[in-house]
Every structure is written in C-alpha cells, then in structure tokens.
Amino acid sequence: MKATLEFQLPEEQDDHAYALAGVDALLTIDDLLNEIRNKLHYDSGPFKSWKDWEGKEQQGHDATLEKVREVLLELKQDRRLPELV
C-alpha cells in the first residue's frame, strides 16, 4: 500500500511546510517529555536548575513538571499523535 500527499504550490505552501514538520514536532514533544522524566526520575537535565533573566538560580518544581507531562500526554492522545518507534 502506498500513500501520497499532494499540494498545489505555491497556494498550499503553508500546508506543505506543516506536513514536512510533523515528524520534527513529534520529536520535539518526545524530547520535552524525556527532559521532564530526567528531572523527575534522576534529578538531572535542564529542568533541575537554570539561571533566570536576572541571573538568579531557579529550581524545577516536580509537581509543576508532573502536570506539564500529564497535559502533554493528554494532548497527544486527544490528537491521536502516533508514538515514535
């Protein structure tokens, strides 16, 4: 079985760009979920700590990250986004 997407360019240039960016969007979501997991399970990664715009050290808050993770997973499920294999 084959599937082909066709776009009428330049009229559908935006739709074409959106289709091409789909895998990158899925990878970005998975990268973000992995960074949240790194903080929650291993206390490491960019959410452990960072400097804010004033140069002050900030710490990631586990409960907030858990909620962000929950929302991301719900959105993925609601939009029927495939799991990357």
What would the pLDDT profile of 13-60 be if each residue is shown by its tens digit? 999 999 999 999 999 999 999 999 999 999 999 999 999 999 999 999
Number of domains the chain is built from: 1
Distance CA 75, CA 40 (A): 20
Structural domain contains residue 46: yes
Q: What is the structure's pLDDT at 85?
A: 83
| Domain span holding position 48 | 21-77
Q: By 3-state DSSP, what share of the chain in percent is helix, strand and coil, each rounded to 5?
A: 55, 5, 40
Read off the pTM: 0.83
Q: Does residue 9 fall inside a structural domain?
A: no
